[in-house]
Amino acid sequence: MDQRRHSHTWALALSAGLSALAFGAPLSAHAQASAGVWPERPVRVVIPFPPGGTLDRVGRTLAQRLGEQFGQNFVVENRPGGNGVIGADVVAKSSPDGYTLLFNASTFVTAPLTMSSVPYKVQSDFAPISLVALAPLSIAISNKLGVTDLNGLIAAARGRPGALNFATGSIGSAGHLCTAKLETAANISVTVIPYKGTTPAMQDLVGGQIEGFIDPVLGSLQFHRSGQLKVVAVTSDQRLPNMPDVATASETLKGFSCASWYGLWAPAKTPSALVDRLNAAVNKELGGPMRERLLADGIVPGGGSVADFARFQADDIASSAKIVEAKKIRLD
pLDDT at 320 > cutoff 60: yes
**Average pLDDT along the chain:** 90
**CA angle, 289 as apex, 223 and 291 as ends, to 5°?**
65
* pLDDT tens column, 175-229: 999 999 999 999 999 999 999 888 899 999 999 999 999 999 989 999 999 999 9
Separation CA 85–CA 184 (nearest Å) = 28
% of the chain surpassing 70 pLDDT: 89
DSSP per-residue string spanning 153-192: HHHHHHHSTTTSEEEESSTT-HHHHHHHHHHHHHT---EE
Alpha-carbon 298 to chain mean position: 13
**What percent of the residues of the chain are helix, what percent strand, and what percent coil, each to the nearest 5?**
45, 20, 35
The pLDDT assigned to 35 comes to 54
pLDDT band at 242 (very low <50, low <70, confident <90, very high): confident
Q: Which of 324, 332, 40, 22 is nearest to 184 (CA)?
A: 324
The pLDDT assigned to 33 comes to 36
The pLDDT assigned to 52 comes to 86
pLDDT at 117 > cutoff 80: yes
Other CB atoms closer than 10 Å to residue 327's CB: what's the count? Answer: 17
Separation CA 52–CA 57 (nearest Å) = 7
* pLDDT tens column, 4-52: 444 444 544 444 334 434 334 444 433 443 456 899 999 999 999 989 8
Instruction: Give me the domains of the chain, ranges plus CATH numbers.
Output: 3-135+260-327 (3.40.190.150), 137-251 (3.40.190.10)
Q: Which of 56, 36, 34, 35 is nearest to 46 (CA)?
A: 56
- Are the C-beta atoms of 250 and 257 separated by less than 8 Å? yes
- Are the C-beta atoms of 157 and 186 separated by less than 8 Å? yes
The pLDDT assigned to 37 comes to 86
Using CA of residue 117, residue 118, residue 119, residue 123, what is the dihedral sign? negative
Nearest 5°: phi and psi at 138?
-110, 140
* pLDDT tens column, 253-293: 999 999 999 999 999 999 999 999 999 999 999 999 999 99
Separation CA 294–CA 289 (nearest Å) = 9
The per-type count for the chain, helices as H runs and strands as E runs, is: 14, 10
The pLDDT assigned to 28 comes to 41
23 or 118, greater pLDDT = 118
Tell me the average pLDDT across 131-150: 97
Using CA of residue 273, residue 276, residue 281, residue 284, what is the dihedral sign? negative
The pLDDT assigned to 178 comes to 97
Tell me the average pLDDT across 74-81: 96
Packed helices 54-70 and 272-285: angle between N→C axes, nearest 10 degrees: 110
Residue 299 DSSP SS3: coil
Mark 74-89 as b/e (b = at least 16 C-beta within 10 Å): bebebbbebbbbebbb
Instruction: Give start and end residues of each alpha helix (H) in the chain.
Output: 3-14, 16-21, 29-35, 54-70, 85-92, 107-110, 122-125, 150-159, 174-186, 198-207, 217-225, 272-285, 289-296, 306-327
The pLDDT assigned to 170 comes to 87
